[in-house]
């Protein structure tokens, strides 16, 4: 694993002196469509690990250009319905996936981590397919996202001092995400987070179907265990490990 990571780093390393440089084919989504809302959670402490993950040097969505253009097309259709995409994760450096592996092997679980993993021990997340040591995200062709109703009140902010309920709780009790109610929070490792879960209400199910349908029109495929995860077949390729650099205006 260490040899593999070293090879990836050597091949795809970006010099700090070229902070905005991205490998060929990668772009900042903000440069393609600045109207798409971004909340890149792994660049913050508001995620299941409780800290920024390795390689997230900026809270920016980076994707392959084709992926970005198709997201723009999705956004244009949604805008006519007073809706917007909201990105939680895009390109993920390979080192971040290895950081998740290290986290899962720490041997302890905190109350904050239980917000995301209410029933499944963290050591089981890889075996059950919720986390991968080699993620499609590292190819630039996989995404985590949700929908925002632009006509609704979306000002709720994460407060690290507040005792939230777990990700399966009613929307008013769990971590705020400023989005429509999909039945669970983002990164919820529970069967209720499966896209076709029968344990959610009709309105939540309708929102999930609406998201899947909008993404499918541009060729994106949903992962059945995570309502928020989509990928674009054929747009990926090799995994990368370059850190996400700040975007210059």
What are the DSSP calls for 92-141, one per residue?
--HHHHHHHHHHHTSS---TTGGGT-SSS-GGGTTTTTSS-SS-GGGGT-
> What is the distance between the alpha carbons of residues 185 and 59, in angstroms, rounded to a whole number?
19
- Is pLDDT above 90 for 94? yes
Q: Is residue 67 part of a domain?
A: yes
**Number of domain units in the chain:** 1
Q: Is residue 236 part of a domain?
A: no
Q: Is residue 92 part of a domain?
A: yes
| Per-residue pLDDT, 8 | 37
Domain that holds residue 114: 2-231
Instruction: Tell me the CATH number at 46.
Output: 3.30.1380.10
CB 71 within 8 A of CB 33: yes
Q: Is residue 249 part of a domain?
A: no
| Per-residue pLDDT, 180 | 97
Q: Is residue 241 part of a domain?
A: no
Q: For residue 132, what pLDDT band results from cuts at 50, 70 and 90?
A: confident
| Per-residue pLDDT, 20 | 58
CB 143 within 8 A of CB 90: yes
- Is pLDDT above 70 for 6? no
Pairwise pLDDT comparison (182 vs 11), residue with the higher score: 182
Taking residue 150's Cβ as centre, other Cβ atoms within 10 Å add up to: 13
Taking residue 106's Cβ as centre, other Cβ atoms within 10 Å add up to: 12
Q: Describe the chain by its helix, strand, coil percentages, rounded to 5.
A: 30, 15, 55
CB 20 within 8 A of CB 248: yes
Task: Output the pTM of the full model.
Answer: 0.89
Distances (CA, A) of 168 to 187, 190, 200, 201: 11, 8, 10, 12
Q: Is residue 161 part of a domain?
A: yes
Choice among 13-22, 64-73, 145-154 with the minimum mean pLDDT:
13-22
- Can you give the C-alpha Rg of the chain in angstroms? 17
Q: Is residue 156 part of a domain?
A: yes
Q: Is residue 238 part of a domain?
A: no
Choice among 110-119, 169-178, 235-244 with the minimum mean pLDDT:
110-119
Of the candidates 73, 57, 55, 63, the residue with the CA atom closest to the CA atom of residue 29: 63
Residues 48-72: pLDDT tens digits? 999 999 999 999 999 999 999 999 9
The residues that bridge with 28 in the sheet, in sequence order, are 62
Q: For residue 105, what pLDDT band results from cuts at 50, 70 and 90?
A: confident
């Amino acid at each position: 694993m260490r040899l593999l990571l070293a090879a990836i780093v050597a091949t795809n390393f970006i010099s700090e002196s070229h902070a905005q440089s991205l490998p060929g084919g990668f772009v900042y989504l903000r440069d393609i469509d600045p109207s798409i809302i971004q909340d890149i959670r792994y660049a913050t402490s508001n995620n299941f690990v409780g800290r920024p993950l390795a390689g997230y040097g900026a809270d920016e969505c980076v994707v392959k250009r084709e992926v970005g253009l198709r997201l723009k097309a999705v956004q244009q259709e949604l805008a006519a319905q007073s809706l917007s995409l909201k990105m939680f994760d895009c390109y993920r450096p390979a080192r971040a996936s290895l950081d998740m592996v290290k986290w899962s092997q720490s041997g302890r679980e905190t109350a904050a981590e239980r917000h995301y993993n209410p029933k499944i021990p963290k050591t089981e997340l890889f075996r059950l397919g919720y986390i991968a040591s080699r993620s499609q995200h590292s190819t630039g062709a996989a995404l985590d996202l949700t929908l925002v109703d632009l006509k609704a009140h979306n000002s709720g902010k994460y407060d690290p001092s507040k005792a939230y309920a777990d990700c399966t709780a009613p929307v008013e009790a769990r971590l705020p995400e400023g989005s429509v109610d999909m039945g669970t929070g983002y990164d919820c490792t529970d069967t209720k987070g499966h896209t076709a879960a029968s344990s959610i209400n009709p309105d939540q199910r309708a929102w999930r179907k609406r998201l899947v349908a909008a993404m499918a029109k541009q060729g994106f495929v949903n992962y059945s265990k995570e309502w928020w995860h989509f990928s674009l077949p054929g747009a990926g390729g090799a995994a990368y490990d370059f850190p996400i650099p700040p975007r210059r205006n």
